[in-house]
Amino acid sequence: MSAPNNIVLFHYSYSPYVRRVIWYLALRAGPNCSKIQPLVLPRDDLTPIGVNYRRVSVVSIGRDIYCDTRLTLQKLEERVPNGTLGAGKEDEKAIKRLLEKWTVEGPLFLRAALLIPTNPPAMADPKFTKDREDLCGRQWSKDALERGRPESIAYMRSCFDLLGTTLLADGRDWILKTDKPPLADIEAIWPFDWLVELKGSMQALSPKNNSPRYMHGFSVSG
């Protein structure tokens, strides 16, 4: 199936990064073609088009292929006709860039990723855990994840608080006080939104009785 705008998104729906591109496309590019990929390698749709990059998302626009959501969003800004979602004023551009750096490049995403719940079936699949161990170069077991969870929850909680007590403290709808969500909003909230949707992510098991301890003030259900 091809989309009228020639955009094809290769991804899997659990990916936090992918929501950056999905939201952008929804806000600006209209319907596109989505090719769902397996959670683990090999990804047989990508090899034939010459992509050896191991991460998702990958986006093709016609014959051009973009890996990494930062480049993809930049190219979509340039290539999708009729406007952009980018900030206008210099200080707004700076906020957008800082938010991108904070969420994409820093420890924030790594901490969020360590909060993946350990009960979904994939976590019991040795193919999945081996694949993630190969990718990260460290143990990806239920025990290892649960041991690190309280520290990651505390870290993410401080990040939720940072946004809630600064840029979003006055109850504005969008980060730059715009009428509609610009790119800065996508940069700001994708890992947070992913965690809020991920049932059980912000919940640590008490070492004593294995009962859940809730570690943050947001309405994430366990």
Ligand X SMILES: N[C@@H](CCC(=O)N[C@@H](CS)C(=O)NCC(=O)O)C(=O)O
Q: Is 121 left (phi over 0), alpha (psi -120 to 50) or beta?
A: alpha
Query: Of the ranges 53-61, 87-95, 147-155, 180-188, which one interacts with ligand X (CB under 6 A)?
Result: 53-61
Residue 51 DSSP SS3: coil
**What is the nearest approach in angstroms of ligand X to the Cβ of residue 208?**
33
In the set 9, 56, 85, 112, which binds ligand X (CB under 6 A)? Answer: 56
Binding flag, residue 16, ligand X (CB under 6 A)? yes
In the set 94, 135, 154, 162, which binds ligand X (CB under 6 A)? Answer: 135
Residues 6+ apart with CB under 8 A from 79: 61
The CA distances from residue 35 to 80, 169, 197, in Å, are 20, 38, 22
Tally Cβ neighbours within 10 Å of residue 56: 22
Binding flag, residue 97, ligand X (CB under 6 A)? no
Q: Which of residues 137-166 bind ligand X (CB under 6 A)?
A: none
Alpha helices in the chain, H assignment, sequence order: 18-28, 69-79, 90-100, 107-113, 126-136, 142-165, 183-197
If the CB atoms of residues 104 and 144 are measured against ligand X, the closer one turns out to be 104
Element at 9 (helix H, strand E)? strand 7-11
Query: Of the ranges 63-71, 83-91, 122-130, 204-212, which one interacts with ligand X (CB under 6 A)?
Result: 63-71
If the CB atoms of residues 53 and 214 are measured against ligand X, the closer one turns out to be 53
Binding flag, residue 177, ligand X (CB under 6 A)? no
Q: How many chain residues bind ligand X (CB under 6 A)? A: 11
In the set 8, 10, 17, 99, which binds ligand X (CB under 6 A)? Answer: 17
Residue 131 phi, psi (nearest 5): -60, -45
**What is the nearest approach in angstroms of ligand X to the Cβ of residue 129?**
13
In the set 27, 51, 104, 163, which binds ligand X (CB under 6 A)? Answer: 104
For residue 119, the 8-state DSSP code is: -
If the CB atoms of residues 12 and 155 are measured against ligand X, the closer one turns out to be 12
